[in-house]
Amino acid sequence: RLPKASEGTPLRAFFNGVHGMGNRMVGGVAIVEDFTERKRSEEIIYRQAYYDALTDLPNRRLFIERMEALYQEAGHARRGGLVMFM
């Protein structure tokens, strides 16, 4: 059973043509994969890597990665920035 589009299930589809004599396409093979569990596992790993398990607050790793991205963006746009710690 394929889920309805409104259910928001992540799917991945592959299609390969089957060629016969003279390289003429005579058919095809389609594979549709539901990767809900993989997506859920990736979200759990992301959460464990970037958020504190006890407080559920963003951790130092997420802060540093976001600051590096903002620094790069500011450099390309020739803008300055300010970081305040409390």
19/11 Cα distance (integer angstroms): 26
29/18 Cα distance (integer angstroms): 7
| Residue pLDDT, tens place only, 39-77 | 899 999 999 999 999 999 999 999 999 999 998 988 888
Q: What pTM did the predictor assign?
A: 0.56
- Tokens of residue 34, six digits: 């539901």
Residue spans of beta strands (DSSP E) within the chain = 11-19, 25-34
What is the pLDDT at residue 81? 77
- Tokens of residue 28, six digits: 């095809």
What is the pLDDT at residue 62? 96
Which residue, chain included where needed, has tokens 């990665």? 65
Name the domain count of the chain.
1
Please check whether residue 83 lies inside any domain of the structure.
no
- Tokens of residue 14, six digits: 């592959």
- The per-residue pLDDT of the chain, averaged, comes to 88
Going by pLDDT thresholds of 50, 70 and 90, the confidence category of residue 5 is low
Please check whether residue 12 lies inside any domain of the structure.
yes
Higher-pLDDT residue of 34 and 4 is 34
Domain range for 14: 5-77
Please check whether residue 82 lies inside any domain of the structure.
no
